[in-house]
Structure 1
Amino acid sequence: MTGDMEGTAISPAARTMRIVIEPGTLISTGQELAVLRAAYKRQPDSRLLRGRLATALLVQDAFDDVIAVLSDADGLDARDAAMLVQAHLARESEADNLRVVDLVDQMLPLVDDDAMRAQFLADQGKALRRLGHPERARAVWQRALTLDPANKDACKRIATLDLQEGALDDGIATLDRLATGGANHARLYAARALAEARAGRIDAARDMVAFDGLHFAGQLATPPGMPSLAAFNARLAAELLQHPNLRYERYGSASEQTWRIDTPALGDAPMVRLLLAEIARAVEHHADRIADSDHPWARQRPDIGMLHCWCVMTDGTGYETWHVHQFGWLSGVYYVQIPDAVTHGDDAAGCIAFGLPEDVVGDAAASAYGVTVVRPEEGMLMLFPSHTYHRTFPHGADQRRICVAFDIWPG
C-alpha cells in the first residue's frame, strides 16, 4: 500500500477539488418499479409516466418490457427513442440490430441537439458493426465525433476498430484530433494507451496510464462514531447483505457471476452514507496530493466531482473482466469484507490487477507492459485514474467478497 488516510485533515479553503455525494433514494428500485407500473396502468396516455417506467425497466434489464412499453407508443421523443435503442441493442439479435439502424434513421431528422445526435449515431454504428458492416460503422462513428468530439462510445468503438485493423498511427492521429477538439475522458486516454502498447511503445503506454504516480492505496479513516474500522466494516457488510436493491448480474458491466447493488445509498442505509462521506474526504486529499502533476489527466481535474457508487459481491466463482470506467475522472474501491483465503493467500485469487487486456493488445505487449496485482484487505481504499485498466480474479472461497466501487464524475 502507498499511504494511510488516518489522521489527515485539510481545510475547505485549501482543497483543490470539492466532492459532492450523489443523492440517495428513498425507496428501493423494486418499490419504484411497482409504483410506476401501477401508475402507468391507471394513466396509459401519460408520456411522463411512460418515460419514467421505461427508465426504471431499463435499469432492471427488463429489455423486453421496455420495448413493449415504447414500441407502439405515439409520439416518441428523443429520450424515449434512446431508451428503445438501448433495449434493442441489449437483446443482441440481428433483428434488433436492424431495428436500431432504422430507429436512428427515423430520429435523426427530429433531433437538433448535436450531442444527442452523436449518441444516436454511436449506437447505430454499434449495430452496423454487429451486422458485419465495419466500414459503414466507421463512417457513422466519424459523423458522431464530428458532431461531438467528446462522445465516449464513438471514440471507444472507432479506436477498437483501428486496433483490430492494425491502423495504429491513424488511430492515434484520430485520438489526438479529438483531444485537440476538447475531448477529455477515460476512453480517450485508455485508447491511447492501448494503441501505444500495440505499436510496441510500452513506455508511452505506461506514461499515458501513469498508474504508479497517480494511484493511492491505504486504510480508510474510521468513520465518526464507530469504535473501530473493523466494527464499521461488520455493520456495513450486514447492511449491504440485506440491501433491498441487491441483485444477481447486470447486463453491460464487466462483472461475471456477481451480486450487485447499483444504488446502495438508500434513505435507510446509514453505514453506506458514513462510508461515502469518508471516501469524499479521501478523494479531496488525493486530488490535493497530485495537484502538481503534469499528466494531461491530472491537468483536467474538475473543480467539483460527483461521487457515484455501487456495490459488488462475489462468491467463489465471481470476477470482473478487464475494463475502465468511462464516465469517471477518478475511480476507486473500498474493501468491506475479504475472505481469509484471500487475505492470507499467495496467488492472485481474489486480488485486483492493473495492466492491459491481452485480447486487445496481444500477449507480448501485455506482458511487456506488466501487471500490478494488489491483495485487498478489509478497510483498504484504492483510488486510481478512471482510464486505468483493471480486473479481478475468482477467489474460490465460501465467504463472500464485498467491496464498494465508485467513480468521481466531473461536476
Structure 2
Amino acid sequence: MSLRPLFVTQVYEATLAGGAGFAAFNEELADACRMLAAEDQAGRLWCRQHGYRGYTSYGSLTDLPVRLPEFAELKRHLDKHAQAYAKALNFDLARKPRLDNLWVNILKPGGGHTGHIHPHAFLSGTIYVEVPDGASALKLEDPRLPMMMARPGVRGDASEAEQPFVYLAPQAGTILMWESWLRHEVPVNAAKSERISISFNYA
C-alpha cells in the first residue's frame, strides 16, 4: 500500500532575525508602528467602528512604503521573500509579485481577529515585530473543511499536515506567507502586552 499526498498547501516561513542590523531595524519598525497608532486618527476611528482591540492601519493608510523609510526597507525584504515563495510554488507569472498593500497591527491584550481570507491578492502574509510571551499564534484552517461532510476527526497524534487547524507561533522577525485563499485567524491575545505585526498582500 502507498499513500500519495495531493493538493498540498505550502506555507512559507523565514526570518529576518539573525541578520546584520536586525535588532536595530526591528526596533525602528516598532517605533514606526507606535507612531502611526498615535497619529492616525482615521485608523483609530476605523478600529472603534469595527471593534478592533488595538490599532490597525488597514482601513486608513495604503502608502506606508512611501510614507516612512522603515516600511520602504521592509518592502525590499518582503519583495525578495514573495518572489522566492512564488518560485517555490511553481507559479507561472508574467511579472514578479507586486506588493499591493501593507498595514500595521497592534493587538492589545484580549484582542483577536476572526477567521478571514484576503480577496484580490494571491499571496498574503505577516511579519512579526513584537511577540510577547502568551501572544497569539497564527491559526490556519484546512481549506477542505466546508466539504468534509461526515468525515471523522483525526487522532491527536496525527501529523501537522492532517490536522484541521494548525497554530504557528512566530517570534520577532518571523515572516509567514500563504496563498490568499487560505482561511486564517488570530486567536485572543493572552499576553500582558501588545503584539505588533505588519501584514501584507501581493497581487
TM-score (norm 1): 0.39
Structure having greater relative contact order (Cα 8 Å, sep ≥ 6): 2
**What is the distance in 2 between the residues matched to 1:397 and 1:221?**
21
1:308-339 alpha-carbon deviations (Å, 9 max, x no partner): 21111100111111111111111111001111
1:158-189 alpha-carbon deviations (Å, 9 max, x no partner): xxxxxxxxxxxxxxxxxxxxxxxxxxxxxxxx
Which residue does 1:236 correspond to in 2? 29
Task: Provide structure 2 residue ranges, at least 5 long, that are not aligned to the other structure.
Answer: 155-162
Which residue does 2:159 correspond to in 1? none
Q: Structure 1's 363 and 251: CA in aligned 2 closer, same or farther, altered over 3 A? A: farther
Higher helix share: 1
Q: Structure 1's 363 and 374: CA in aligned 2 closer, same or farther, altered over 3 A? A: farther
Q: Structure 1's 313 and 366: CA in aligned 2 closer, same or farther, altered over 3 A? A: farther
Task: Provide structure 1 residue ranges, at least 5 long, that are not aligned to the other structure.
Answer: 1-205, 292-297, 343-349
Which residue does 1:339 correspond to in 2? 132
1:3-49 alpha-carbon deviations (Å, 9 max, x no partner): xxxxxxxxxxxxxxxxxxxxxxxxxxxxxxxxxxxxxxxxxxxxxxx
1:260-279 alpha-carbon deviations (Å, 9 max, x no partner): 01326164411111111100
State, as a whole percentage, how many aligned pairs show the same letter: 20
2:188 matches 1:389: no
Match of 1:372 among 166, 172, 187: 166
2:198 matches 1:399: no
Which residue does 1:216 correspond to in 2? 12
Higher strand share: 2
2:83 corresponds to which letter in structure 1? E
Q: CA deviation at 1:256?
A: 4.2
**What is the distance in 2 between the residues matched to 1:284 and 1:358?**
27
**Paired residues of 1:216 and 1:286 also in contact (CA < 8 A):** yes
2:137 corresponds to which letter in structure 1? C
Secondary structure of 2:198's aligned partner: strand
2:47 matches 1:249: yes
**Paired residues of 1:356 and 1:390 also in contact (CA < 8 A):** no
Which residue does 1:117 correspond to in 2? none
**What is the distance in 2 between the residues matched to 1:319 and 1:260?**
12
Please give the residue correspondences for 1:305-316 in structure 2 after superposition, counting only pairs within 5 Å: 305-307=97-99, 308-316=101-109
Larger Rg: 1
2:55 corresponds to which letter in structure 1? W
**What is the distance in 1 between the residues matched to 2:187 and 2:149?**
18
2:62 matches 1:270: no
